Amino acid sequence: MAQLNFNAEEVEPQGSFEPIPAGWYTAMITQSEMKPTKNGAGEYLQLRLDVIDGEHEGRVLFDRLNLKNENQTAVEIAQRQLSAICHAVGVLTPNDSTELHDKPLKVKVAIRPAGNGYEASNEVKAYEEAGHGAAATATQAQQGGSTEQPAKKPWQ
C-alpha cells in the first residue's frame, strides 16, 4: 500500500499520445541533449519541441539530428536540418544547443505510420522562421482551407 494524499480535482488528466495532424505548427525548442547512437559509433542531438499555439498547444514533438555518424549522408542531412533551425531562430553560429532554446519557429509535422512494433508517431520534416506564411497554412488547414505548402527556402 502507498499513501498518496492526492486530489485529482486539482490536476488536469493526462491527454492523448495520438500523433497531432500533419501540418505546420509554431513551436519552441525547450530541451536539447547529445546522446550516443544505438551502436555507440556516433551521437545525435535530441531536441524537444513544444507546440506553443493553436489547438495542439502544449503537445511535445521530438527530433533527432545525427551530427556524428559513420554514415556521411546522415550527417549531411542533420547538418542541413540544424542549419534550417539556426536560420529559423536567427542564431547562425551557436556554440551550444541551448542558444536555440525558447525561440519560436515553424515546424512541418508529418505522421510516421505504425510499424516494427511502434505505434504511429509524429516526425518533424522541416523548419522555418515563425513569421513565415506557414502559420496561415496551418490555420487554413485546420479550418478546412487550402493546405498548399509555403515556398521552400534553400536550407530545407
Q: Where are the domains of the chain?
A: 18-142
What pLDDT sits at residue 1?
79
Q: What is the mean pLDDT of the chain?
A: 87
What is the CATH T-level fold of the domain 18-142, as seen in this structure?
A: OB fold (Dihydrolipoamide Acetyltransferase, E2P) (2.40.50)
**Residues 6 or more apart from 68 whose CB is under 8 A from it?**
42, 43, 44, 75
Helix (H, G, I), strand (E, B) or coil at 89: helix
Give pTM, 2 decimals.
0.77
Q: Which of 2-16, 18-32, 74-88, 126-140 has the lowest mean pLDDT?
A: 126-140
pLDDT for 141 beyond 90: no
What Å distances lie between residue 132 and 3, 29, 106, CA to CA?
51, 18, 8
pLDDT band for 138, please (50, 70, 90 cuts): very low
What pLDDT sits at residue 11?
87
